[in-house]
Structure 1
């Protein structure tokens, strides 16, 4: 099938989308050489700062969450590709205002390679940086082997928690400890009903046919091993939420955050129905939903499906989540 997208030259996708982001949010962000999307108030930051990295093509993530009380610099790679380490080192140097930098990396091969090379060079240069890895996809590895889990939508609430802790004046070590506690208590599983295509080539990621869905599919089309016939919203949530609750060992009386993240071609109508199903499922288990995010957070072009995320919350994490922030695609 011929690709139909409102783009110009495929080789200019990332450059032009970042220019558009900056033009649409001139009060919040600017784009500097190296595809650095920078919080315009960074120069006044007297605190720990937050840097992250990732390929484009997942909008609004990741660059759409740069701003006040969120990410300070997002280092953006080409479509579905990690940026190089030098751009990350430049970003960390620019971000550091004397209190150190928290460097948030999603667990994907390219991102991790860049992240590890960046940290080695930071150590050589004596830069004060702590790396946090988000790796919460329960479908491709057991919790006992969490280092093999992919990073999905969980990076986005992680930014908010980390930035709020930094804004509260906590030290780099304190910000890292709080952020790691959140990361260790979150889990995500995804489902796809229709595959995405690469925006530069039109090549499909998979072939799910007309009647199937796949639970556990990664955000770049990686197989999840859960292919089955399409089910209702309630049935799908029951399968997915049961796996998440079991993974985190959430029990009656606990409090959680729930995110229903549309993958790019899922309507808001569907997402709200899915969120309703999620709340009802957890309520029946005696688990209270105290925080939520429903919408397109981290997408995969026009993939139809969603990522379902939960995280165990305590009073400190909830307070940080509820603190004010302002970014192009999330404001609280």
Structure 2
């Protein structure tokens, strides 16, 4: 079947995407060299700064969260592909305003290769950088082997926590400690009903039957071992909520953040129906939702499904989550 997408040349997808994104948000971001999206107020940043990286094709992530209170520079690779280490090193240098840089990397093979090479070069050049890896997909490795877990939508609230701590003038070590504590207490589980087509090649990322769904689907159509007959919204919510609670060892009386992240082709109607059941289940268990988000943060083109994210919260983390920020796709309060 022929791919149907509103694109021009497949070779220019990322460049044209970034040009349009920067033009649409020129009050907040600017397009720099080597596919960098840069916080327009970076030059005035007398604080720790935040750099991240990732392939295009997951909009609004990752560049949709560049701006005051979150990310300062995102380095964008081609569709579903990590950027190389040289532009990431250049971004770290550009971002450093004398207080150090927090470098946030999602746990995927290409991103980790780039991240590790970038850190090696940064250390050789004497840059003050700390790397944080988001690795919260519970479907492909147990918690004791968290280094094998994929990074999913958890990167977005991690940007928010890190950016808020940095905005308050915390040192690089303090920002890293707060961010790592949040990252250590988060978990995500994804479900997919239908795969997406790769906009550069037209290939199908995941092939699911009409009456099938897969719990544990990765960001790029990777299998999670949870293929099964289609379930209702309530049944799906219960499976996923219970799995996340178990992974995090959440107990009665605790407070959590809950995010339902649409994968690209799931309606808000569906997400709100699922969220309604999640809240009911958690209330029954005596677990309080103190922070939430329902919508699209990290997508995979037109993949149908969603990612359910849960994180253990406390007053300090909730303070950072609620702190002001101003980015193209996430805003809170007034900056």
2:106 aligned partner:
106
Partner of 1:268: 268
> 2: distance between equivalents of 1:183 and 1:167?
19
For residues 279-322 of structure 1, give each alpha carbon's deviation from its aligned partner in whole angstroms, at most 9, with x where no partner exists: 11111100000000110100000000000000000000000000
SS of residue matched to 1:151 = coil
Q: Does 1:206 align with 2:206?
A: yes
Report SS of the residue matched to 1:174. helix
- Give the drift of 1:201: 1.5
Counterpart in the other structure of 1:218: 218
Q: Which residue of 1 aligns with 2:169?
A: 169
The CA distance in 1 between the partners of 2:209 and 2:177, in whole Å, is: 44
* Alpha-carbon shift at residue 207 of structure 1 (Å): 1.1
Structure 1 distance, partners of 2:206, 2:271, is 23
Within 1, Cα distance between the matches of 2:4 and 2:73?
A: 32
Deviation track 1:155-192 (CA, whole Å, cap 9, x = no partner) reads 00000000000001000000000000000000000000
Aligned equivalent of 2:32: 32
Measured after TM superposition, the shift of residue 110 of structure 1 is 0.2
Mind listing any 5+ residue stretches in structure 2 that lack a counterpart?
none
The within-5 A match list for 1:38-117 is: 38-117=38-117
Aligned residue in 2 for 1:232: 232
* Other-structure match for 1:188: 188
RMSD: 0.5
CA distance in 2, matches of 1:266, 1:5: 17
Using structure 1 for the length normalisation, give the TM-score. Answer: 0.99
Q: Counterparts of 2:97 and 2:313 in 1: how far apart (Å)? A: 30
Deviations 1:216-243 (A, max 9, x none): 0101111111011111111001001110
Q: Distance in 1 between matches of 2:96 and 2:114?
A: 19
Residue aligning to 2:324: 324
Which 5+ residue runs of structure 1 have no aligned equivalent? Answer: none
**Secondary structure of the residue that 2:78 maps to in structure 1?**
strand
Q: Is 2:134 the counterpart of 1:131? A: no
| Aligned-residue offset at 1:134 | 0.1
1:11-26 paired onto structure 2 within 5 Å? 11-26=11-26
Question: Distance in 2 between the 1:177 and 1:278 partners?
Answer: 30
- Secondary structure of 2:200 counterpart: coil
Separation in structure 2 between the aligned mates of residue 71 and residue 276 of structure 1, nearest angstrom: 31
After TM superposition, the structure 1 = structure 2 runs for residues 2-17 of structure 1, keeping only pairs within 5 Å, are 2-17=2-17
* 1:241-280 aligned within 5 A: 241-280=241-280
Q: Distance in 1 between matches of 2:115 and 2:285?
A: 39
Deviations 1:238-291 (A, max 9, x none): 001110000000000000000000000000111111111111111110000000
- TM-score, length-scaled by structure 2: 0.99
Separation in structure 1 between the aligned mates of residue 277 and residue 72 of structure 2, nearest angstrom: 35
Larger mean CA deviation between 290-299 and 276-285 belongs to 276-285
Moved over 6 A (4+): none
